[in-house]
Amino acid sequence: MAKYFDVHPDNPQPRAITQVVDLVRGGGLIAYPTDSCFALGSQLGDTNGLARIREIRQLDDRHHFTLVCASFAQLAQFVHVGNSVFRAVKAATPGQYTFVLPATREVPRRLQHPKKKTVGVRIPAHAVAQALLAELGEPLVSSTLLLPGEEEPMTQGWEIKERLDHVVDAVIDSGDCGTEPTTVVDLSGPEPEIIRRGAGDPSRFE
């Protein structure tokens, strides 16, 4: 049964954040809010957490998982950010974008695209997500909380708790955080490629 944490959207209670992060460090899978919509998250080295996300969302091995990072400095540890894309990524973070970039050696192979050796990264502009990342001290391996066969992610914490009670370990609810996933931009090639149009304005990459 999932633990339910009702936290303040702007000033999340430190005790609740610590409890959630302790669950993550212990192998827990969480549903948490971001500045676009809810996401599923687990610890970077947690192979079981990754398998659980795949199972819940019915994902294949070509799915790009996202490393949700606290800062640009942290993001740059996990992906190669060349001079040509540095300014574009820096200007769009934190925000409602996910960038697909070549992975560094810090990224476990199972998180990388099997052929391209890329991974998704993002920096959310959301106080609760940022509090979780600050306490954890490393990125959360994440995927949009979009269930198979559904067109929109769930937006209500209580509904997530009700429907995913036996497949996640915690639900963090800070109120409505929107239904639109991030805009996904592949910056691993010679030209930016918009993979998914979402909450972030894609025009700056077109």
- Please state whether the predicted TM-score (pTM) of the whole model is above 0.85: yes
Q: How confident is the model at residue 51 (pLDDT cuts 50, 70, 90)?
A: very high
Evaluate if residue 131 carries a pLDDT over 90. Answer: yes
Please tell me the predicted confidence (pLDDT) of residue 29.
98
Which tokens belong to 174? 């800070």
Average pLDDT of every residue of the chain: 94
DSSP-based three-state secondary structure for 202: helix
Cα–Cα distances (Å) from 129 to 5, 30, 111, in that order, read: 13, 12, 21
The mean pLDDT of 107-116, rounded to a whole number, is 91
Q: At what angle do helices 14-25 and 127-136 cross, to 10 degrees?
A: 50
Strongest mean pLDDT among 55-64, 76-85, 127-136? 127-136
Sheet holding 140-144, edge to edge: 3-6, 170-173, 30-32, 39-43, 140-144, 66-68, 118-122, 97-102, 183-186, 193-196
Q: Given this model, what pLDDT does residue 176 score? A: 83
Looking at residue 152, its pLDDT comes to: 85
Is the distance from CB of 181 to CB of 199 less than 8 angstroms? yes
pLDDT tens track for 172-188: 999 988 889 999 999 99
* Whole-angstrom distance, CA of residue 93 vs CA of residue 180: 17
DSSP annotation of 98: E
CATH class of 3-205: alpha beta
Q: With cut-offs at 50, 70 and 90, classify the pLDDT of residue 99.
A: very high
In the structure, what pLDDT confidence band is assigned to residue 162 with cuts at 50, 70 and 90? very high
Tell me, what's the pLDDT at 202?
Answer: 94
CB 41 within 8 A of CB 147: no
Query: What pLDDT digit, counting tens, does each position of 78-95 carry?
Result: 999 998 899 999 999 999
Query: Measuring CA to CA, which residue among 2, 39, 1 is closest to residue 132?
Result: 39
Percent of the chain residues topping a pLDDT of 70: 100
Q: What are the tens digits of pLDDT across the range 133-155?
A: 999 999 999 999 999 999 888 88
User: What's the pLDDT score for residue 30?
Assistant: 98
Structure-token pair, residue 189: 């090639």
Interacting residues of 105 by C-beta distance below 8 A, sequence separation 6+: none
Q: Enumerate the domain spans of the chain.
A: 3-205
CA atoms within 13 A on the CB side of 27: 4
Question: How far, in Å, CA of 113 to CA of 127, rounded?
Answer: 30
User: What pLDDT, on a 0 to 100 scale, did the predictor assign at position 177?
Assistant: 82
